[in-house]
Amino acid sequence: MLRGMPSELPTLQAGADLAFIRRETELKPVPFVPEIRLHMAEDAIALWETTERERGGAGLPPPFWAFAWAGGVAVARYVLDHPELVDGRAVLDIAAGSGLVGVAAALRGAKDVRAAEIDAFAVSAIGLNAEVNGVRVDGALVDLVDGDGAPAEVVLAGDVFYERAMAARFLPFLERAAARGATVIVGDPGRAYLPRDRFTAVAAYQVPVVADLEDTSVKTTTVWRLG
């Protein structure tokens, strides 16, 4: 599903997506990151099925945008507690999902924040979530992984090593970003495909999660810096 897409959403479809998100989610504080509120759902499978009905067929990506995943929660917590990481800097939140990480960066003084996603629902959710938290995050419907994240000075990735194929694309992207001088931060709750020898751990948290998504209620989640 990763592919190049235009960054503009058709106006009518964007409006329908916003209405759908408001109807199918609840706005509430994020566990472990209560400074931030998100539009979140309770049941991933039910929402996925509803999303497919809304769009008229199967084959849509899972609604990653409707949940606060452990990796993103950990990165958001780290950013909120270490504002010097992003203050006055251009930030890219890659595979942004709900936009949680980008919102955290904006709250801590990033000069601009771009949140890249390949799911139109996610881009709409990012806009809603930024608005309710009183910040600006520029959601982009685009696949950036073949590049190097320029011109962002900080590249943040909440949870991108959960599949072999995805990890195989994201690691070179993150390494290219680091090679041009960007600070690269990744959150990971013990996924199998994170090459830990390439990263340095900077923090670890016990993150509460939705048990139906992770088969547990708490995940030990590490924040890593590339290099």
Domain locations in the chain as residue ranges: 11-226
User: How large is the average pLDDT for residues 23-29?
Assistant: 96
In this predicted structure, the answer to whether residue 8 has a pLDDT above a threshold of 60 is no
CATH level 3 topology of 11-226? Rossmann fold (3.40.50)
Per-residue pLDDT tens for 113-168? Answer: 999 999 989 999 999 999 999 999 999 999 999 999 999 999 999 999 999 999 99
**pTM exceeding the 0.95 threshold for the entire prediction:** no
Per-residue pLDDT tens for 192-222? Answer: 999 999 999 999 999 998 877 777 889 999 9
**Residue 5's pLDDT band (cuts 50, 70, 90):** very low
Between CA 161 and CA 71 the distance in angstroms is 10
Q: Which residue has the tokens 């890593």?
A: 224
In this predicted structure, the answer to whether residue 102 has a pLDDT above a threshold of 50 is yes
